[in-house]
Structure formats: C-alpha cells, structure tokens
C-alpha cells in the first residue's frame, strides 16, 4: 500500500489545457517574434431617418410605429388643449379645428455618391379610423388655419416634406404636422382615441 502511494506522487502532473487556441507564432534562440492580423470589412451605403421632438408635442420611439406623437384630447371647436409646448398650437375654422405641432426630421446618409438628398416625402399609410379626423401638414411655421394642407394618402403621390430645404446628412429639418377635426362629420363618442400612421421616405440619388 505504501508503495502505491509513492508511485502516485511520482506521476508528473499533466498540463491543464492547451495554452492557445489559434496557432501561435514562435521563435527559438531569439528574443522577438512578430505576428500579423488582417482586418477586413465591407463598406456599405446607409441611410437613416429620425423624427424627434421640436418644441411642441413629444415625439417618442415606438407607440405603434417607429415613432409616435400624441395630440391628446382634441375637438372641432378648438376648446380642448391638445398637447402642450411652444411649438404646438391650434387654429379653428368653421366647425373645424387643427391641432398641430412642430417636430424635427433628420435625414442621414453615408457612402452615397451625392452630398445632398433628393427627396423626402410622406403619406398617410394608415388613416384614422374615426371619420372627421385627418392629417395635415406644412413645411414652414403656420400662422393660420389655411397654412395647412392635407397630407397625401397615396403612396404613389406622396406629399413633399423636403420643400425648399436642402437635404444634408445629419441636418435636422423642422416640419409641422396636425390633426384636423371636422365637426360637420359624425364623430365617434367623446373620449375615444384614434390613430393614423404617416410613412416618411428619404431617397438619396
């Protein structure tokens, strides 16, 4: 029994594991060794479009689309407050009201052959389910009810959001979007909410 114990003690310990996974570069009888690393990448074009809060209603991520803007409670007489903020407001017409807000839209692009974008457009891809509600917009600061125009609901004939601006990468544009409430239509009962979706498209050519 004693002999067995001695033999076990004499066994050379095994190396716990291989040291390197990749094959090492080695050299002997010297004090220096070099290795080379190739770094590869494939450059791609990229485009990006971001909506953000201006000085009016809050633009948030998500909420049924990539971004969301909530006007809150509105009515055709313009009595309700809508959303707060210096960039938000309301105009009234005959039995109609427009609740609006500014927002920023920031196009960005890289590795494109041009330094300026070509088109920036939008359309209502999903209209309000409630009759009498519609999306309106303007590319410049509104001062009256009539400054707003209806946003297109046709993907093939979208509303121009670029306007007279130059589309420069990473340069925000301020635009205005509103909800027009037409009191001449039979609206749903007070308190119910409704949502529309506007799709923006940036094209760099």
Partner 1 sequence: MRIALLTLLAVSMCAGAASAATISVSSLASGVTLGGSGTAGTMNVGNGNGLGVGTAATGVQRVVLASGIAYTSPFNIGLSGWGGGAAVTVSAYVSSNFAHGGGGTPLMRATYCLAADCTVAANHQFLSTSSAAPSTVRTGATNNTTFSTNAGGLIVYVNGGTAFTGAETATITFNAVDLNNTTHTASATLAVSTTVQTAVQFSLDTASGLSVTAGSTTDYLLDFGTVDGLGVSSGNGATKSTSASGARYSTSYLVRPAFSSMTSTTGTVRMYVSSNFAHTALLQLQDSTTGASNSFSAISTNSAAASQTLISAAAASKTDITRYLGLFVFAVNGAGAFVGADSAVVTYTLIVP
Q: Which residues bind partner 1 (CB under 8 A)?
A: 10-16, 19-48, 108-115, 169-170
Nearer to partner 1, 61 or 114 (CB): 114
Residue 46 to residue 111: CA distance in whole angstroms: 7
Q: Name the residue nearer to partner 1 (CB basis): 46 or 79.
A: 46
Question: CA angle 45-152-191, nearest 5°?
Answer: 110
Rounded to 10 degrees, the C-alpha dihedral 145/129/123/112 comes to: 130
- C-alpha neighbours within 13 Å on the C-beta side of residue 160: 10
Smallest distance, partner 1 to C-beta of residue 157, A: 28
CB of residue 109 to partner 1, shortest distance in Å:
6
Compare residues 32 and 94 and give the one whose CB is closer to partner 1: 32
5 vs 14, which CB is nearer to partner 1?
14
Q: For residue 95, is it left (φ>0), alpha (ψ between -120 and 50) or beta?
A: left
In whole angstroms, the minimum distance from the beta carbon of 122 to partner 1 comes to 21
């Amino acid at each position: 029994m004693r002999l067995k114990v001695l033999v076990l003690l004499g066994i050379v310990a095994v190396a716990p594991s291989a040291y390197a996974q990749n094959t090492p570069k080695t050299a002997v009888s010297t004090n220096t060794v070099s290795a080379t690393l190739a770094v590869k990448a494939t450059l791609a074009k990229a485009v990006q479009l971001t909506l953000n809060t201006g000085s009016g209603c809050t633009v948030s991520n998500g909420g049924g689309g990539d971004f969301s803007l909530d006007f809150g409670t509105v009515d055709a007489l313009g009595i309700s407050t809508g959303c707060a903020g210096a960039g938000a407001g309301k105009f009234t017409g005959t039995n109609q009201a427009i609740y609006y807000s500014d927002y920023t839209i920031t196009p960005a692009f890289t590795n494109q052959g041009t330094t300026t974008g070509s088109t920036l457009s939008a359309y209502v891809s999903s209209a309000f389910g409630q009759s009498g509600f519609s999306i309106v917009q303007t590319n410049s600061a509104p001062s009256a009810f009539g400054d707003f125009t209806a946003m297109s609901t046709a993907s093939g004939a979208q509303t121009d959001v670029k306007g007279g601006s130059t589309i420069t990468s990473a340069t925000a544009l301020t635009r205005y979007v509103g909800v027009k409430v037409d009191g001449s239509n039979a609206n749903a009962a007070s308190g119910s909410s409704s949502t529309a979706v506007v799709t923006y498209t940036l094209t760099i050519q």
